[in-house]
Structure 1
């Protein structure tokens, strides 16, 4: 029997964080490909565009001066320095998506997650850990794109990022990328069903019991 009215909900903010090389980007891509109810938040960044990237699809590429203006105007929900560049989550992009009932996936670090929690406490925070630091270093080296100095810098930063694991709601170890993706998806589906996120549920239950 159909419900007398739709039980709508506000979209949720779903954060994925991990040190570089732990598989976060791969898991995010797989999640987006398996669930059309969630969209990736496209961040603004001051780093140069890489071959194959598109403005507005991968990032909004802006100058340092433009980024300064956006910070001053309050256009970011959060922003942070990462490897000498700045990245920010655009308030307008996120709010338009969640108010339409779609979830937003944010690929941000612990600094951004802390800022976001202060702006909107109703977020879901998932941290992805590597199986070991040796495995993390092996993955970074297997890319074949970074110098030795960059790899060591990433390893140092990884240790600092991992120290913030306890600030997250869920912590997963990425031993197998597909299994980890499935766990992340299960978390997302469970969070969607929380009573506090179902608009109209109170009225519906009140109508049931009279």
Structure 2
């Protein structure tokens, strides 16, 4: 089973994923490949695999990606090789992916649970972006309306106002969905 978390930049996707990975030993991260620069504290593979634009474009040309998008001026995508390796392990996988990538991924992979995270307000989102030192806030917010409009295409939509509550709700969703797909 693959659990997808989507939502605007700054809504808390990676914070939530890290909490879930720490709390649930049967959940594993499905990394995303990107051409964006590594942020302080990020490690390759957690949650991103950083590659050059040339390497990413080569992978597109050689059909090595399940899906890919350009988001905020950078490539993001999911390598087929990693998907195949991860699904062999019979674990629950979790991934942060944008709304357009989600639409492409659910067409190509079975057993996907989609969760869209909303901020309490656009103002709260701006404060979170500022709080993490984001320098390209306008670029991040340019997709906000598009992303929010896509929320209706997700199985679950949650407002991430209280981190602990949101983490617990997502853990409950994961358990429920895993039990249903195991029957």
Structure 2-normalised TM-score? 0.92
Q: Which moved more, 1:41-50 or 1:23-32?
A: 41-50
Instruction: Give the equivalent residue in structure 2 for 1:192.
Output: 178
How far has the Cα of 1:51 moved from its partner?
Answer: 4.0
1:43 aligns with 2:29: no
Instruction: Give the equivalent residue in structure 1 for 2:85.
Output: 96
> When the two structures are aligned, how many residues end up with a matched partner?
183
State the distance in 2 between where 1:93 and 1:86 align. Answer: 17
How far does the alpha carbon of each residue in 1:50-98 deviate from its partner, in whole angstroms, 9 at most, with x for none? 4443334443222222111211222211111111110111222122222
**Residues 1-210 of structure 1: pairs in structure 2 closer than 5 A:** 12-146=1-135, 150-194=136-180, 197-198=181-182
Q: Which runs of 5+ in 2 are unaligned?
A: none
CA contact (8 A) 1:97 1:103 kept: no
TM-align CA RMSD: 1.6
State the distance in 2 between where 1:109 and 1:126 align. Answer: 11
State the distance in 2 between where 1:133 and 1:177 align. Answer: 17
How far has the Cα of 1:142 moved from its partner?
Answer: 2.4
Which of the two has higher C-alpha Rg? 1
Tell me the SS of whatever aligns to 2:78.
Answer: strand
CA contact (8 A) 2:29 2:46 kept: no
Q: Which runs of 5+ in 1 are unaligned?
A: 1-11, 202-210
Cα distance change of structure 1 residues 154 and 123 upon mapping to structure 2, 3 Å threshold? same
Tell me the SS of whatever aligns to 2:68.
Answer: strand
How far does the alpha carbon of each residue in 1:102-161 deviate from its partner, in whole angstroms, 9 at most, with x for none? 111110011110000110242100000001112112222223342xxx222222211221
Instruction: Give the equivalent residue in structure 2 for 1:5.
Output: none
Cα distance change of structure 1 residues 118 and 58 upon mapping to structure 2, 3 Å threshold? closer
Cα distance change of structure 1 residues 137 and 75 upon mapping to structure 2, 3 Å threshold? same
State the distance in 2 between where 1:183 and 1:56 align. Answer: 26
CA contact (8 A) 1:94 1:104 kept: no
